[in-house]
Structure 1
């Protein structure tokens, strides 16, 4: 496998970036006067469309608010009040893993291309673009811009196409097994992210680092 790998795709959230997005429960429960269970149910149901870019943040929270209210599980909140909730949560909690970034630099020095393959939303893309996080990656295959998300087969094929490579030339590093399984079904190799040090050992074992 190692000899065939020409590009390593990195997931962003949970691998390159660590952020406490679960804080939406604390903020949202106070805002909507809902229980964590009810709020999580409504958020989880809509995240796929948010990450595919078919739903924007303002409409997302409008639907959440109206559904909770219609079920007697929360109160109506103006969409304008919470339109920047996702953006603000990431901006206030995101931390770049410098050890992972060092590994990315080492891969590039070894002649291996590095790309990003991430389930994300437009608000988060703006924050990370402003901070220059994506500059290290080429290409950047972002779900909200491609209209599909991991573990859907289409996003892996589109990511490889953006890189002008075949899926078999690519390796995905991700912290979720379901995304790795999707990558393998699409023809990519895959590594489970368990931290920077285990990742370094995995990359050395695959002869991708020198």
Structure 2
């Protein structure tokens, strides 16, 4: 018997990675605190809960940076930073998916479906739970419950993988086996 009936996996920081070096370069070139402003919960949470679009999130960054042309250019570049799939993670998840369902659980914006298509991941997982579509974000317990239900598994039979410890802790509080992802070896060890 396998130790899990489903894998619930984060997207960003596990399967998808943004070019953080380029983000830092853009921030340095403009001399603006782009990452601090962009990821301020007051600005990003409405976008990840689906209350505003990604475009409106970028506009809120521009406004927080002063609203001038320079702020607009910096925010536009920052929002357009490329991302890629970690092929090792993809391969591990695909192999595990031969035995059990895979559900991506992500705090995302309204552009997620387009991004998944761009990455060739549209039909990769058995289901995708996007915070912008369900109106709750990790670490709210409801998003984990939605994911487990879509996977057809009891929470205590789910493996949850995320790069943010607070999200893993919330999953563990529901009885899930949680893996704090720091590298592909963490996922490989959990999947055996």
- Deviation sequence 1:56-83 (CA, Å, 0-9, x none): 12222222323332xxxx6267979966
SS at match of 2:65: helix
SS at match of 1:115: strand
Residue 62 (structure 1) aligned to one of 53, 59, 63:
59
1:185–1:76 distance in 2 versus 1, CA, 3 Å: farther
Check whether the contact 2:180–2:186 (CA below 8 A) recurs between aligned residues.
no
Residue 149 (structure 1) aligned to one of 137, 147, 164:
137
> Where does the alignment leave 5 or more consecutive residues of structure 2 unmatched?
none
Q: Corresponding residue for 1:208?
A: none
- Offset of residue 181 of structure 1: 0.5
The number of residue pairs the alignment matches comes to 190
Residue 95 (structure 1) aligned to one of 56, 81, 84:
84
Q: Corresponding residue for 1:104?
A: 93
Q: Corresponding residue for 2:68?
A: 75
Asked whether 1:13 is paired with 2:6, we answer: no
RMSD between superposed Cα atoms in Å: 2.8
Determine which structure has the larger helix proportion and give its number: 1
**What's the TM-score, normalizing by structure 2?**
0.82
- Offset of residue 140 of structure 1: 0.9
Q: Corresponding residue for 2:166?
A: 178
Check whether the contact 2:8–2:158 (CA below 8 A) recurs between aligned residues.
yes
- Offset of residue 24 of structure 1: 4.5
Larger Rg: 1
Query: Aligned partners of 1:121, 1:158: CA distance in 2, in Å?
Result: 18
Check whether the contact 1:57–1:84 (CA below 8 A) recurs between aligned residues.
no
- Offset of residue 155 of structure 1: 0.7
**What's the TM-score, normalizing by structure 1?**
0.76
- Offset of residue 159 of structure 1: 1.1
